[in-house]
Amino acid sequence: MGSGAASGERARRWMRRIAASLFTVLFPSDCRICGESLTEISRLPVCQDCLDTMNPIEGNVCSVCGERLFTPYVVAGAQGDYRCGLCRRIDPVFARAVAYGSYENGLRELIHLLKFNGVRPAANVLGRMLAEAISALGLEPSTKSIAVIPVPLYRAKFRQRGFNQAELIARAAIKITAAADRLHLSPGILVRKRDTSSQIGLTSHQRRENVRSAFGVAQPQVVKDREVLLVDDVFTTGATVSECARVLRRAGATRVWVATVARTLKNSSRSIEIRLGDSGEETGEPSGVEEISLARAVGG
């Protein structure tokens, strides 16, 4: 590198430092996750260190529902995929569900910044994560378009919040997915007919009842004989996405895929233990499985 180029690079570094210093002085702000001072000019009040901690899910997961698998005694399905015990016993109403990361720590806080604090620039970052999840679905090449349907909010909550976080994230994700030409955002097709209370703290039966008949399809002709990609910010027990998938299938959708930014995963302390007999077949029921997990398998 010549002396002129080196001088130019040093000048640019100084300019960046000066700009960062002026930004800190004129627009003092702290990272909304870790509290450290922000020195980079950005519309998103989150530092790069916090963003770097939001990694994809690691380890083995069920190839159908995306739940974490701990046991080494996992049975492969007919297609060579590995399913959790619940998905082997009862097929979910959706074809497959994937998520980018675990719903904890920084990722949970980033979702909350968008969802509850109205920090809309977070949708772009979350959209990139959702795009990775969509890619992991491995959608088969086809000339047919796929309707991308965000899980809707009840109209009163939408008016209060001013936006549907699932729609904002989906819109950002579609722009950068490899299958963008096949994915068509279709808000307003799926509607929430009544308000539902928070699912936090509810039993599996209460979760199913909470969302039962809460959704409807406003324009069945849009989904009839068509694949649908259902998107949301978080997959917890699957009660909401299962109910949405059910009404979409009833309206004529041929297949419903599910992609979310995050999902709640089992902790290692609640791993599934499967005892094997001499023949190598399962002789015991899974232990340590929460009741809400069964609700997910049966669409609750």
Mean pLDDT (the chain) is 83
Average pLDDT over every residue of 96-100: 97
Beta carbons of 84 and 62 less than 8 angstroms apart: yes
Query: Sorting pLDDT into bands at 50, 70 and 90, what band is 244?
Result: very high
Query: Sorting pLDDT into bands at 50, 70 and 90, what band is 84?
Result: confident
> pLDDT tens digits, residue range 262-273?
999 976 444 333
Higher pLDDT, 181 or 245: 245
Amino acid 196: pLDDT = 85
Amino acid 288: pLDDT = 36
Picking from 47, 42, 77, 52, the residue whose alpha carbon sits closest to that of residue 62 is 77
Query: Sorting pLDDT into bands at 50, 70 and 90, what band is 73?
Result: low
Beta carbons of 81 and 64 less than 8 angstroms apart: yes
> pLDDT tens digits, residue range 48-64?
999 999 999 998 899 99
Amino acid 41: pLDDT = 73
Query: Sorting pLDDT into bands at 50, 70 and 90, what band is 77?
Result: low
Amino acid 21: pLDDT = 54
| DSSP code per residue over 121-190 | THHHHHHHHHHHHHHHT-PPP-SS-EEEEEPPPPHHHHHHHSS-HHHHHHHHHHTT-TTTTTEEE-TTSE
Domain 50-297 fold is Rossmann fold (3.40.50)
Query: Sorting pLDDT into bands at 50, 70 and 90, what band is 275?
Result: very low
The whole-model pTM stands at 0.79
Q: Where are the alpha helices (DSSP H) in the chain?
A: 3-26, 48-52, 85-89, 105-115, 122-136, 155-161, 165-174, 204-211, 220-223, 239-250, 291-297
Residue type, position 237, single letter:
T
Amino acid 280: pLDDT = 36
The gap from C-alpha 106 to its chain's centroid, in whole angstroms, comes to 14
DSSP type of residue 296: H
* Window from 67-71, 96-100, 252-256 with minimum mean pLDDT: 67-71
* Window from 16-20, 203-207, 284-288 with minimum mean pLDDT: 284-288
For 252, the token pair is: 């004529």
Show me where the domains of the chain are located: 50-297
163, pLDDT greater than 60: yes
> pLDDT tens digits, residue range 2-35?
566 667 777 777 777 666 555 544 455 899 999 9
DSSP type of residue 79: T
Amino acid 2: pLDDT = 58
Amino acid 19: pLDDT = 61
Of the segments 68-72, 136-140, 208-212, 225-229, which one has the largest average pLDDT value?
225-229
For 51, the token pair is: 């963003």
Beta carbons of 190 and 152 less than 8 angstroms apart: yes
Beta carbons of 197 and 227 less than 8 angstroms apart: no
Higher pLDDT, 279 or 17: 17
